[in-house]
Amino acid sequence: MSRRFNTLNLLIAGVIAALALIPVYSALSGYPFLLSLFTRILILAMAAVTLNLIMGFGGMVSFGHAAYLGIGGYAVGILAKEGFNSGFLQWPVAVAASALFALAIGALSLRTRGVYFIMITLAFTQMIYYVAIGLDRYGGDDGMTIYRRSQFGGLINLSNRTVFYYLCLVLLLGTVYLVYRIVNSRFGLVIQGSRSNDRRMRAIGFPPYRYKLVCFVIGGALCGLAGALLANHTDFISPALMHWTRSGDLLVMSVLGGMGSVFGPVIGAVALLMLEETLSGLTEYWQIIIGPLFLLVVLFARGGIAGMLVGEHRG
């Protein structure tokens, strides 16, 4: 099939190449801030990709995905504050904690569906948000500075901006690949089948609840890793990371980029955050177009950017 060389795949290749060259461009042009900006884009793109796994493919619209960014971040932050700076401890804890929370939240939430599911994920996120605010020792609402980034012995130095950037890029691409494999596996087919028709899946012999739960946990766990990266990037964590409006931001990236495509959210994240940077230089009020633009995408271009390029329409 000539699918290999269609517009979307070309764009994907282009974006990956461009992302790989950012540190070079940043160093040459003397704009170190670009590196910082794109590191952030990479991390949020990773979070959006994990959201899309459960939402775009699994049909589970979670307004609480940002919670895992926070859980991952706080795992790093709390351990750092207590003197455990080793990344070999922090990052697995971040992933494991997120997986556990996802398991607990998913187990309860997946007993509901539709808008109730959306609302209950929202409720759980708010709960976690308030727990974080209540953690007086770890800054509470004021947040907490992380004085040392995760240490990996002599293996890799995260304080080196360029090294950290490439690590994030590798992890992002790894996540994309993982999601791609999941979606195209038998497991993934069951998930997508459940999204369209639960009853049919059950009739064939696949209990949707169990499959969806596993999918939900994987999504949460990977997002926790993104959270650990984010904490290292900003050297700071606060409960604001987990507010439901931040989940909304991730949703916007996914939908804009294209929910039907694994790489779509990356495109969405790059597009959205680049727009934010360039437009805010031009006018203070740029956000006024994002809202209606988003509404238009929802109404008429559900496939997002990726969808438009492939000529796909999602129902």
Partner 1 sequence: MRKALLATAALLIITASPAMPQQKTIKIGFISTFSGPVAAIGNDMRNSFELGLDHNGRKLGGLPVEVIYEDDLFKPEVGVQKTQKLIESDKVDFVVGYIWSNVLLASLKPLVDSQTFTIVTNAGASQLAGELCSPFVFSTSWNNDQTPQAVGLYMNQKGVKSAFLIGPNYAAGKDMLEGVAATFKGQIVGRELTRWPDQLDFSAELSKARAAKPEAIFAFYPGGAGIQFITQYVQSGLKGQIPLYTAFTIDELSLPRLKDLALGIPGAQEWVNDLPNEANKKFVADYKAKYKSSPSFYGAQTYDAVGLIDSALKAVNNDMSKKEDLRKALEKADFKSVRGSFKFGPNHIPIQNFYLQDVVKQGDDYVLKTVATIVENDQDKHFQNCHMK
Partner 2 sequence: MLYFIEQSLNGVQLGMLLFLLAAGLTLIFGIMDLVNLAHGSLYMLGAYFAATFAAMTGSFIAGALLALIATLLVGMAVEVIAMRRLYGRDHLDHVLGTFGLILFFNELVRLIWGPAGMTLALPSEMLTAVQVLPGVYFPLYRLVIIVSTLAVALLLYVLVMRTRIGMLIRAGASNREMVGALGINIKLLYTLVFGLGAVLAGFAGLMQAPILTVQIGMGENILILAFVVIIIGGIGSIRGAFVAAMLVGLIDTVGRAFLPDLMRLFLSANAASTAGPAFSSMLIYMLTAGILVFRPEGLFPAATR
Residues that bind partner 1 (CB under 8 A): 25, 28-33, 36, 133, 140-143, 145, 147, 234-236, 238, 240-241
List beta partners, residue 86.
151
Report the partner that residue 248 touches, choosing among partner 1, partner 2, none (CB closer than 5 to 8 A by kind): partner 2
Report the partner that residue 255 touches, choosing among partner 2, partner 1, none (CB closer than 5 to 8 A by kind): partner 2
Q: What is the H or E stretch that residue 10 is in?
A: helix 7-29
Q: What is the H or E stretch that residue 236 is in?
A: strand 236-237
- Shortest spacing between CB 146 and partner 1, in angstroms: 8
Instruction: Please identify, using beta-carbon distances, which residue of 237 and 255 lies nearer to partner 1.
Output: 237
- Shortest spacing between CB 313 and partner 1, in angstroms: 32
Instruction: Please identify, using beta-carbon distances, which residue of 33 and 177 lies nearer to partner 1.
Output: 33
- Shortest spacing between CB 99 and partner 2, in angstroms: 19
Q: Which residues bind partner 2 (CB under 8 A)?
A: 61, 63, 108-109, 111-112, 114-116, 118-120, 122-124, 126-127, 130-131, 133-137, 140-141, 244-245, 248, 251-252, 255, 284-285, 287-288, 290-295, 298-299
- Shortest spacing between CB 129 and partner 1, in angstroms: 12
- Shortest spacing between CB 8 and partner 1, in angstroms: 23
d(CA 106, CA 169): 29
What does the buried/exposed string (b/e) look like for 177-210 if buried means 16 or more CB atoms within 10 Å of the residue's CB? ebbbebbeeebbebbbbbbeebeebeeeebebee
String of DSSP letters for 36-51:
HHHHHHHHHHHHHHHH
Report the partner that residue 32 touches, choosing among partner 1, partner 2, none (CB closer than 5 to 8 A by kind): partner 1
Which of 25, 18, 63 is closest to 41 using CA atoms? Answer: 18
Report the partner that residue 238 touches, choosing among partner 1, partner 2, none (CB closer than 5 to 8 A by kind): partner 1
The residue type at 67 = A
Tokens describing residue 106: 């998913």
Please name the residue that has the structure tokens 């064939």. Answer: 204
